[in-house]
Structure 1
Amino acid sequence: MIDLNADLGEGFGRWTLTDDDALLSVVTSANVACGFHAGDPSVMRRVCDLAAERGVRIGAQVSYRDLAGFGRRAMDVPGEELAAETAYQIGALRVFAQAAGTDVAYVKPHGALYNHTVHDTEQATAVVAGVVLAGGGLPVIGLPGSRLLAAAEEAGLTAVPEAFADRAYTPEGTLVPRRRENAVITDEDAVVRRAVAFAVDGVVEAVDGTSVTVAARSLCVHGDTPGAALIAARVRAALESAGVEVGAFA
């Protein structure tokens, strides 16, 4: 079984990026923007209401405070401050999740923060400290082998490794930086093939053609990719055709 997650709620005011309604008919977990890289109270509330109605698990997608840069600009936030900001974002989303009759079920960093916590122990530890501060012992989603997942385990939290069907990988098993050409895979057939390879064989082809082992419990399809809802639907159909049960991680 594998979880299928997508980044949702990435709108602000009159600006909309993700097709939340369509994606919530396909995914099993929703990484909801908490206001720091995207999202506002109205957007957060609507996504939580829809997710609860459709039985989709709600996750807090925490970010650096970078609304103008969509959370994708590298920052170096002091640990104590980052922990507080992480807890703040979880708390904000929790209000709307509980109002919808459910709760925040996990935490996943976004963008630059996600990438930073792969190798940076201080930033990874700060994010986990924020999760602990927010309470509830929430699971943490991150890249396999990352400092983030190691810090989560050290804190007694459930570490959930994930893979990206629509992102290119380095031979070391990390994501190719978005500033590089072809970092995001837009060919639908390729995304579908890679998703099945992750779930069935636990491998992905890196940019140099080598095969990299990626043991994942959750599979991400980015909500801001053009045609994301259709891609996610094709991915889910292909997984189920390959005998893979699609469901939220335990």
Structure 2
Amino acid sequence: MSSTVDLNADLGEGFGVWRLGDDEALLGVVTSANVACGFHAGDPTTMRRVCAGAAATGVAVGAQVSYRDLAGFGRRFIDVEPAELADDVLYQLAALDGIARAEGTRVRYVKPHGALYNAAVGHEGQARAVVDAVVAHDPALPVLGLPGSALLRAAEAVGLRPFAEGFADRGYTADGGLVPRREPGALVHDPAEVAARAVRMAVEGTVVAVDGSTVPAAVASICVHGDTPGAVELARAVRTALEQAGVALTAFTG
């Protein structure tokens, strides 16, 4: 399907003295970093440390925006008014971009996190709120989301560049959505299986759903979650498998 693909992971998801994931190791593997902006995880010091590391390693920085939900790690849906949500997203995006620029890089794309990501698949109002915030900050920024989502449709409608994303370590439903985390099959842990799924997405543009059906998954970027146990090993396995399949890894933002 493609001779190149982006590999992304969620970084900077600690808070204060708490660390979640190995940001430094992942920066040596991925081509794009979805950096937490402080609403579901992250803090100014963490954001700056990750941005500095990304600048040093040539990894593209993306703003991983979220609901205002530190206690729930941004994984709980919040029925926030679209105008307020747009303000929240703009606040996060602008904060990370300012820190990134101080470290010699900049935010190159926007990707919602957790429950907001899932809501933006079908919730037209919240999807447009995310897009409105991006347009207000920098209409040249692309948006990363699930193929066929309301988010990508809303982005394209206003002239933003929409990019489709696949998940090597998440289970899929037969309609191309993600299996909710509380349900069986939501997470894929075996490194060999995760790597094989990534190669299939990149080469064939498909993924096998939990019911055994094959669903389209033509994607520009593949995600390995940074908070998954063994995330670094999974990411390395994915990168190695993609390279062995003849797929070059490069940031989708260019």
Give the TM-score of the pair, scaled to structure 1: 0.99
Following superposition of structure 1 onto structure 2, how do residues 1-250 of structure 1 map, counting pairs within 5 Å?
1-249=4-252, 250=254
Q: Secondary structure at the match of 1:15?
A: coil
Aligned counterparts of 2:21 and 2:222: Cα–Cα separation in 1 = 18
Asked whether the equivalents of residues 52 and 100 of structure 2 are also in contact (C-alpha less than 8 Å), the reply is yes
Aligned counterparts of 1:236 and 1:164: Cα–Cα separation in 2 = 14
Q: Secondary structure at the match of 2:187?
A: coil
Percent of pairs identical after alignment?
Answer: 62
Asked whether the equivalents of residues 185 and 210 of structure 2 are also in contact (C-alpha less than 8 Å), the reply is no
Runs of 4+ deviating beyond 6 Å: none
Aligned counterparts of 1:149 and 1:88: Cα–Cα separation in 2 = 21
Aligned counterparts of 2:145 and 2:116: Cα–Cα separation in 1 = 11
State the AA in 1 paired with 2:226. Answer: G
Aligned counterparts of 1:48 and 1:181: Cα–Cα separation in 2 = 35
Asked whether the equivalents of residues 7 and 30 of structure 1 are also in contact (C-alpha less than 8 Å), the reply is yes
Q: What is the root-mean-square deviation of aligned Cα atoms in Å?
A: 0.7
- Per-residue CA deviations over 1:138-179 (Å, capped at 9, x if unaligned) read 100000000000000011000010000000000000000011
- Per-residue CA deviations over 1:180-217 (Å, capped at 9, x if unaligned) read 02201111111011011001111111011011111100
Give the TM-score of the pair, scaled to structure 2: 0.97
Q: Secondary structure at the match of 2:136?
A: helix
Deviation at 1:137, TM superposition (A): 2.2
Can you give the 5+ residue segments of structure 1 that lack an aligned partner in the other structure?
none
The number of residue pairs the alignment matches comes to 250
